[in-house]
Structure 1
Amino acid sequence: MTAVLVAAAAFLMTLVGGWVAQRTGDRRHLVLGFAAGLMLGVVAFDLLPEAVRAAPDEIHGVPQALLMFAAGFLTIHIIERAVAIHRSHEGEYAAHTHGHGHHDHARQGIGLTAAGALVGHSLMDGFAIGAAFQAGTTVGTVVAIAVVAHDFADGFNTYTITRMYGNDRRRALTLLAADAVAPVTGAAITLLFTIPVEVLGLYLGFFAGFLLYLATSDILPEAHSPHPSRTTLLCTLLGVGFMWLVIGFAD
């Protein structure tokens, strides 16, 4: 039950992250820059190392988790190209101008899929808390601190990504609520059974590739298109540094 109670703190932190994301106003470019930094930090310092540890077996000399990482990146790339979200010959930081109808729905679907993946990640965070407490109180406490801290970023990114892809505020709030409930649900499920470690590693690798694509191909260009400023770049660096500190303290 301790794990479930700790996961409740992650629930609150996720909502705080979403609340901050809603109140950005004309500082949207700074928010997007910071969100991209958070996502890059999560991929580099959290998801990939954990994925490789959980699924280290190699196929033709490459860890399975890294193959899934490439698969995640390419999957979202292929989906975006298939629905023609990005027009040909857009400038590297050109503003996105999308048509209506089918393309708008497809674009919204990408945002919902990305936010849904973040909810899945938060569910795994809950699993991590539950499994850590099964290993011992000290391990559980350290993992819980890391999860609670970076669930702020999860809530922030869930709301931001959903809205950035053209979804309305109601959908964004619904997914934010799902993201907040997910770690509590994950921790509760570990009271019944656990997911095989290797399967979890493969999932984390795939999700890392998914997030990296969104951060570099969509969010950063979107952040720089209206305000190509040093301040936006600084926010990205701050996002990466923040995740480095959070994960470093947890180790």
Structure 2
Amino acid sequence: MLQKLIIFSGIAGITVFIGGVLAHLFNHHVKESPVKYEITHTMMSFGAGIILSALALVLIPKSMEELSLLPMALSFLIGAGLFLVLDQYLAKKGGQTATLLAMLMDFIPESIALGAVFAIEPKMATLLAVFIGLQNLPEAFNSYRDIVQSGFSSKKTLIIFFFLSFSGIVGALIGHFVLSDYPDLTALLMGFASGGILYLLIQDIIPQSKLEHKYLPSLGACLGFLVGIIGEKLI
């Protein structure tokens, strides 16, 4: 059972590194052109759609199932408020890490949830691992671009992504051994993550994905959300 949990959470996490590698190849081996620019923004919108689907279909519903109104609202507001402060700090520093933060705010709570439900509903956990992996790919693709633009080298960024890939295993193990008996604590974590993700989406990610007189990025967001709907329906 433990071996399967590590394998599934590892597969879900390795797509962070794969997304970074694909972004590296795309940036260095595809010539600059309006088409490349539109593809980049479409991928950003696609990732935003998947993040939004995780927020609407997984994190908030699971949090609302376990919590009463007040703790749910407080955890959500604390998440939004903390990331407002963090976003202001990063803006002063000149960083562009909103997509990376949104990915981690999504990836880590879902990995913890994966570990918590694995012993109870293995089938659901397996599909959840696939869903998480699909989310991480476009999110990592977009995060690579943000981090490189904020001053990191390609090599250093890929190293960061490689080690981040294993955070899903750590989160799943924590969920399995620590939080499986405390659903309220897991729900608080999901509510907190929801507030932070929604703030980052509205403040940073969605505005950056828009292109004047281009409509493909908006369709990309719809397709990303559809991926989330399909994943939730399968689970």
8 Å Cα contact 1:76-1:210 kept in structure 2: yes
In the other structure, the counterpart of 2:64 is 52
Letter in 2 for 1:132: V
Distance in 2 between the 1:191 and 1:207 partners?
19
Query: Residue 201 and residue 228 in structure 1: after superposition, are their counterparts in 2 closer, same or farther (change >3 A)?
Result: farther
Q: What do the CA deviations read for 1:90-110 (whole angstroms, capped 9, x no partner)? A: xxxxxxxxxxxxx3xx232x6
Q: Which of the numbers 43, 50, 53 marks the counterpart of 1:38?
A: 50
**Greater fraction of residues in helix:** 2
Scaled by the length of structure 1, the TM-score of the pair is 0.73
Question: Which structure 2 segments of 5+ residues have no match?
Answer: 28-35
2:152 counterpart of 1:145: no
1:245 aligns with 2:224: no
Runs of 4 or more consecutive aligned structure 1 residues displaced over 6 Å after TM superposition: none
Shift of residue 30, structure 1, vs aligned partner: 1.7
Work out the CA distance in 1 between the residues paired with 2:188 and 2:82.
15
Alignment identity in percent?
Answer: 19
- Are the equivalent residues in 2 in contact too, given 1:38–1:239 (CA < 8 A)? yes
Aligned residues: 222
1:208 shift after superposition: 1.4
2:79 aligned partner, one-letter code: G
CA contact (8 A) 2:21 2:158 kept: no
The CA distance in 1 between the partners of 2:89 and 2:128, in whole Å, is: 39
Q: 1:128-174: CA deviations, max 9, x gaps?
A: 33322211433433433333333334534543553465544345324
Paired residues of 1:34 and 1:232 also in contact (CA < 8 A): yes
Alignment match, 2:4: 2
The CA deviation at 1:31 is 2.0
Equivalent AA in structure 1 for residue 21 of structure 2: W
Q: Distance in 2 between matches of 1:183 and 1:41?
A: 19
For 1:57, the aligned partner's letter is S
| Counterpart residue number, 1:100 | none
Supply the RMSD in Å over aligned alpha carbons. 3.0
CA pair 74-150 structure 1, distance change in 2 beyond 3 A:
same
Q: Note the residue ranges of structure 1 that are not aligned, 5 or more in a row.
A: 86-102
Mapped partners of 1:215, 1:67: distance in 2: 19
Pair 1:197-2:174 in alignment? no
Output the CA distance in 2 between the equivalents of 1:172 and 1:228. Answer: 32
